[in-house]
Amino acid sequence: MKNLQYLFFLLLVPFVTVQGQTGLSVSPPRTYVTSVAGESTVNRILVTNTSKSTSLNLTVSLSDWQYEESGNNIMADPGTLPNSGASWITVKPQSYFTLPPGETHELEVTLTAPAQTDSVQVHTALLFITQTNPVDSFEQGALVKVSLRSGVKIYHRYNTPANPNIEFNDYRFEKKARNLDLSLQNTGNTWTDGTVITELVNVNDGTKYELADQIIYTLPGDRRNVTVPLPKNLKPGKYTASSTLSYGDDDTIKMAELAFVYE
């Protein structure tokens, strides 16, 4: 008798597919809500079964989430994190539905902000769309049960004036790991995304290196540790690293520099 293996895909992306057999598309992957206290805001999410032959039994659920310092997601039961907005959300027309191949279903997601505000500047929730009828698949001769799951991040802030701001806290060369480490913090009052662009210059001969860009996502108060790998064949010498952070809708620019010796 063959051993059965069970795989469960937990992916926070708008489109999930498995070997061309089953596909689930959810749009948009993020929903941003700004409202006054006590106001209800309605957003619509489209769920599409992109497979050609498999019907999907789907369920809708809510969870809490926040970022950890590395930028990864921390998920928790609804109502357990300080920034939880899960209890503010209702979903219509139903939380369970079947989606035939190629069809799209529209969910109406209503967020009602409490009339009594608190000190949390941004509340969040995670809306999951989960397949409950696993599909058989074969991986290296073993039968695998595959289910799809996609998540939509929901952000809410009250309609006070937005003040996006991210500051550099530290910049250092990690000799043993051979990379650059930056520490940043969101000191504003709203969700703020940005890109760190780093250039490296060899002080001795002027050689320039464009390092890999790092994209960051933050909530108010978040600290973010950003690691920038150095080129593998970097020759020893004195270097200057310049990191430019571009963030916000108006592309605010901030810079940090670091001089170090690479041996």
3-class secondary structure, 86: helix
Cis omega (within 30 of 0) for bond into 93 = yes
Instruction: Quote the pTM value.
Output: 0.86
3-class secondary structure, 221: coil
pLDDT in tens, 84-125: 999 999 999 999 999 999 999 999 999 999 999 999 999 999
* Contact by Cβ (8 Å): 120, 84: no
* Contact by Cβ (8 Å): 89, 41: no
What pLDDT does residue 15 have? 54
pLDDT in tens, 61-73: 999 999 999 999 9
Report the half-sphere exposure of 125 (CA within 13 A, side-chain side): 25
Q: How far apart are CA 255 and CA 242, in angstroms?
A: 7
Q: How far apart are CA 6 and CA 145, in angstroms?
A: 5
pLDDT in tens, 223-251: 999 999 999 999 999 999 999 999 998 89
Query: 211: which residues sit within 8 A by CB, 6+ positions away?
Result: 180, 198, 199, 200, 228, 229, 230, 231
Cis omega (within 30 of 0) for bond into 28 = yes
